[in-house]
Amino acid sequence: MDVIELLPRLHLLRFPVGQAYLWHDGAESTLIDAGAIGAGRTIAYAVTALGRAPGDVRRIVLTHFHEDHAGGAGEFAALSGAEVLAHDLDAPFARGELPGPSPRFEDWELPIHTEVSRRLPQGEPVRPRSVTPVSDGDVLDFGGGARVVHAPGHTDGSIALFLPDEGVLFTGDTVAASPVDGAVMPGVFNLDRTQLLGSLHRLADLGADVACFGHGDPVVGRASAALRKAADSHPATG
């Protein structure tokens, strides 16, 4: 796993598939997403290498339930004591109470999904003992007040997190950056692509300066322009 400083208070944790983020408020940290199965201990090592203790991470906020984002949450929560939060529509899947619905793949997405699946760790994840549900408009106690933005389409309970005081937006898989040229684009492997495009437009209107995606390089500086370009290239319908 690579650990990359994006801002003095923000680190990117890059896994073989996907990525997570650490936000720091003084001695307290917040983890946004938690990687795939087995990532919990790796995250704990990364936190320690940054001069912090796993117990300094007070909360894990899941942008959605997919295994490359939620698979490591239970393991890291057990190591750190962190609270796990997810949208109330995705929380039952993150807890393992129900199997989550499968994406509705576009034909061109199928070979990409096969390759991604091959690279993901196999096995049963350590499930968090509890998941605190959050909803659209909730404000979480980090980053000067992190606003939960419901962004359905990738999953029904997908969320973004916007830190207005910092201009930082965590999009989860609603938005991605192309691995080829870094262009900002709608996320793939969705339940409802039309709904996702509506969510992309909503996120583009927030005026973020920094955008952190679940996959692909973040945009650090003038992110709102990149998000608006992507939204204008993919009109929302319905």
Q: Which two tokens stand for residue 167?
A: 């201009």
Between CA 137 and CA 147, with CA 143 as vertex, the angle to 5 degrees is: 10
The average confidence (pLDDT) of the chain is 96
The tokens for 103 are 């994406």
pLDDT in tens, 47-62: 999 999 999 999 999 9
pLDDT recorded at residue 125? 87
Beta carbons within 10 angstroms of residue 85's beta carbon = 23
Q: What is the DSSP string of 137-185?
A: T-EESSTT-EEEEE-TTSSTT-EEEEETTTTEEEEETTEEE-TTT--EE
Give the helix/strand (H/E) hosting 65: none
Q: Tell me what pLDDT residue 117 has.
A: 87
Which letter, b or e, does each residue of 195-217 get, where b requires 16 or more Cβ atoms within 10 Å of its Cβ? bbbbbbbbbbebebebbbbbbbb
- Residue closest to 126 by CA, chosen among 36, 11, 207, 60: 36
Q: Minimal CA–CA distance to 159: which of 134, 183, 125?
A: 134
pLDDT mean over 133-162: 98
Once rounded to an integer, what is the mean pLDDT over residues 124-135? Answer: 94
| Rounded Cα distance, 155 and 103, in Å | 8
- How far is Cα 164 from Cα 187, in angstroms, rounded to an integer? 23
- CA 71 to CA 75: how far, in whole Å? 8
Tens digits of residue pLDDT in 13-26: 999 999 999 999 99
